[in-house]
Structure 1
Amino acid sequence: MTNEPNLPRGTGTLQALVIQPDFHCPLDRLGVWLQDEGITTRIIQPFSGDVIPDVIQEDALVVLGGDMSSLDDRDYHWLTDIRRLMAVAASQRKPTLGICLGAQLMAQTFGGTVARGDQGLEAGVVEVALRPDAAEDPLMAGLPNPFFGGAMHGDMIDQLPPSAVWLGMTAQYPHQAFRVGEMSWGVQFHPEISPVVYRQWLSLVNENDTVAVERAGRGMKAFENQDQIVREHTEAMARRFAHLVRTTATVATQ
């Protein structure tokens, strides 16, 4: 699997700091869309020994997914560092997007809770119903409703942070999208992935869980059949996030 390159930052270039917790969860299409919008990326891979920085010099933060649980601090000590960085980003008003594991870490950062999913694996293409507050949200406003995106997760966001604005839900797991404060968004689904990456994830599904294996396989077929609409919807979200990065950076320099 090829990771998006760490592109050099030139004078006046916008850049997002990307935390990639797992080799199997790359930036994928999101990296291409951000680059199209003039935003380069600096990728930190804690699984390979990269250190999570204490501060954010970049213009935005993206935290990707991973096969580990957000409850696995003992085995992945740097999960604590990611939560701390999310809090720093919020204090600096840096646009932040937490994806799947990243969304769960964001929920924990601001007082929410995560638990093992009580409805089993959610996989394939999810239909996210955007809630009324999404219509006024800087990221979600104007996106298609329902919104279609890729998904694969076993844990769930059990309780949103007390201050969170609840933005989207699915029938299987309600806490699919939320915002904390002005600039921190969490999405339980995967707006970044392509069917190619999803197919590679099939080997990570617990082969002893026959229900999960069946759902993941059925989800692969759904993703291949619905990728046109998934791509349209998730690309729209990516470009709205890029717009937020640009406008926030412009305000910060004035």
Structure 2
Amino acid sequence: MRCAVIRFVAFEDLGVWEPEIAAHGYEILSLDVGVDDLAPAVDAELMIVLGAPIDAGDSSRYPVLSEVTDLVSARLQTGRPMIGVCLGAQIMAIALGATVERGEREVGFAPVVLAEPAHDSPLRHLGSAPTLHWHRDVVTLPDGATSLASTATTPHQAFAYRSSLAIQFHPEADPEAFERWLIGHSGDLESWGLDPRELRSAALEHGDEAAIAGILLIREYLRGLGSLT
């Protein structure tokens, strides 16, 4: 089995999910947007589209976004499972005919509020655990999708569509590699008026709990896929 990973920037990777995915028998195929041929991802048993510090609708400045959106749309038509994280979730929403709009910026560790359907989904492992947020855009809910989580400023922090998941936050983030996030986003943090020292301290305080919840989430999701085969 193959898990094709669509990656935009190196420091936003599979994180704590990678060992769990490999342990479930998947060969991980990492494909870098704008560098690699992404076509093999369509037929992989699982596809994951990760995040990046660009806007999902900004294809005029980043034409590769159109390529990824077309790829996600083709994947959704196959019915094969996919996970979109942050930018990946926003691209999934667009591919399903929904929209992405500006909201209030959420950066740091905080819990999400689970919707009733989430209690019977892999997201139930989040409970009240903190998870990493790093976004400003919000999505409208696509037709046929089920909203799974929210925060006060983001109505649809996660949604399910058939066997696929879209997640606006970052349950995959590895707190042991969080420094790469702070360095990679240094320009943004400065422009947003956020102190990396405070985020670093928050990662030390909440990172282990967030990582455990993220691992349990992906584990249950993968086991659910196994029950379908």
Q: TM-score, normalised by structure 2?
A: 0.89
Quick check: 2:9–2:52 contact (8 Å CA) kept in 1? yes
Extract unaligned runs of 5+ from structure 1. Answer: 1-13
**Residue matched to 1:208:** 191
Map 1:1-254; keep pairs closer than 5 Å.
14-47=1-34, 49-53=35-39, 56-117=42-103, 119-120=104-105, 122-137=106-121, 139-140=122-123, 142-157=124-139, 159-180=140-161, 182-203=162-183, 204=185, 205-210=188-193, 213-214=194-195, 217-248=197-228, 250=229
Distance 2:40 2:68 in 1: 9
Distance 1:55 1:42 in 2: 8
Letter in 2 for 1:220: R
User: Identity, % of aligned pairs?
Assistant: 25
Relative distance call for 1:206 and 1:219 in structure 2 (3 A) is closer
Aligned residues: 226
Distance 1:164 1:219 in 2: 33
Distance 1:106 1:147 in 2: 25
Q: Deviations over 1:156-180 (max 9, x none)?
A: 22x1213221100122322111012
The alpha-carbon deviation at position 113 of structure 1 amounts to 1.2
The alpha-carbon deviation at position 112 of structure 1 amounts to 1.4
The alpha-carbon deviation at position 147 of structure 1 amounts to 4.3
Q: Deviations over 1:55-103 (max 9, x none)?
A: 6221011000011111211122121222222222222221110000001
Give the 4+ runs in structure 1 shifted more than 6 A.
none
Relative distance call for 1:190 and 1:71 in structure 2 (3 A) is same
Distance 2:84 2:172 in 1: 11
- RMSD over aligned CA atoms reads 2.0
SS at match of 1:166: strand
Extract unaligned runs of 5+ from structure 2. Answer: none
Q: Name the structure with the higher helix share.
A: 2
Q: TM-score, normalised by structure 1?
A: 0.81
Letter in 2 for 1:41: I
